[in-house]
């Protein structure tokens, strides 16, 4: 049994519109993203489904949704003990979050502090 063109069109789900979320996340050794060379970089998309080259896109997207896409509101395991050696690491996020332009940069004192405060979003 074949379905006519009109019937097939009526049976097919309508495409949903959504605000785009596509980000490039980087981690670099140094104090300033303008002068530091990224050591790692991944892509992260959250709509319509989590994906990209990020190793844990579902978890990263969930944390970003909880923070309403505000990277400055992300948190991690702040109870984790870290050494007090200054070896700065800078992270960046550029792209769009639910249709809003994102251009975020933050410097952490060292990679341990990044892992304890940077959440799953910058764990790659």
Q: The pTM is what?
A: 0.80
Domain count, the chain: 1
State which residues form the domain around 93: 16-122
Q: Checking DSSP bridges between strand 89-97 and strand 100-108, what pairing results, if any?
A: antiparallel
Please report whether residue 76 resides in a domain. Answer: yes
In this structure, what CATH number is given to the domain that contains residue 110? 3.30.350.10
- pLDDT tens string, the chain, 124 residues long: the values are 555 555 555 555 555 566 788 999 999 999 999 999 999 999 999 988 899 999 999 999 999 999 999 998 887 766 778 889 999 999 999 999 998 999 999 999 999 999 888 788 999 9
Dist. CA 94–CA 77, nearest whole Å: 24
Please report whether residue 109 resides in a domain. Answer: yes
Please report whether residue 108 resides in a domain. Answer: yes
Query: Of 29, 99, 109, 105, whose CA–CA distance to 69 is shortest?
Result: 99
CA distances in angstroms from 64 to 9, 82, 90, listed in the order given: 36, 24, 19
Please report whether residue 5 resides in a domain. Answer: no
């Amino acid at each position: 049994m074949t379905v006519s063109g009109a019937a097939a069109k009526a049976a097919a789900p309508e495409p949903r519109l959504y605000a785009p979320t596509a980000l490039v996340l980087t981690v670099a050794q140094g104090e300033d993203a303008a002068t530091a060379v990224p050591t790692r970089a991944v892509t992260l998309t959250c709509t319509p489904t989590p994906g990209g080259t990020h190793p844990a896109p579902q978890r990263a997207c969930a944390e970003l949704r909880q923070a309403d896409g505000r990277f400055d509101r992300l948190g991690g395991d702040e109870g984790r003990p870290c050494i007090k050696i200054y070896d700065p690491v800078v992270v960046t996020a550029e792209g769009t979050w639910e249709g809003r332009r994102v251009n975020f940069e933050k410097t952490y004192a060292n990679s341990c502090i990044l892992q304890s405060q940077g959440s799953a979003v910058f764990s790659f």
